[in-house]
Amino acid sequence: MSERLPVAVLGGTGYVAGEFLRLLASHPQLGLAAVSSESRAGQAVGATFPNLSSAWADTRFCDEAELAKQVAGGRVRALFSALPHGAAAARIDSLLKTAEQAGAPLTVVDASADFRFRAAADYERVYGHPHPCPDRLAQFASALPEHLAGCPAPHVAHPGCFVTSVLLGIVPLLNAELVAPEFHVSAITGSTGVGRKLGETTHHPERHGNMFAYQPLVHRHRPEIEQLATEAAAPCKVHFVPHSGAWARGIHATIHGRLASGADLAALKAALAGAYAGSPFVEVIDTPPRLKDVTGSNRARLAVAADAEAFVVMVVIDNLLKGAAGGALQWMNRLLSLPEDAGLRLPGAGWI
Catalytic residue among 62, 133, 151, 161: 161
Q: What is the CA radius of gyration of the chain?
A: 20
Phi, psi of 90 (to 5 degrees): -65, -35
User: Rounded CA gap, 44 and 170, in Å?
Assistant: 43
Listed residue (36, 107, 110) closest to 78, CA to CA: 107
133 noted as active-site residue = no
Residue type, 158: H
Length of the chain in terms of residues written: 352
User: Which residues make Cβ contacts (< 8 Å) with residue 203, sequence separation at least 6?
Assistant: none
Q: Are 243 and 227 in contact (CB under 8 A)?
A: no
* Dist CA 149 CA 166 (whole Å): 19
314 to each of 128, 179, 244, 297, how far by Cα in Å? 32, 15, 17, 18
- For residue 305, the cross-strand partners are 312
Q: Provide the greatest CA pair distance for the chain.
A: 63
Coil vs helix vs strand at 194: helix
**Residues 77 and 102: beta-carbon distance below 8 Å:** no
- Helix (H) / strand (E) element for 302: namely strand 300-306
Residues labelled as active-site residues: 161
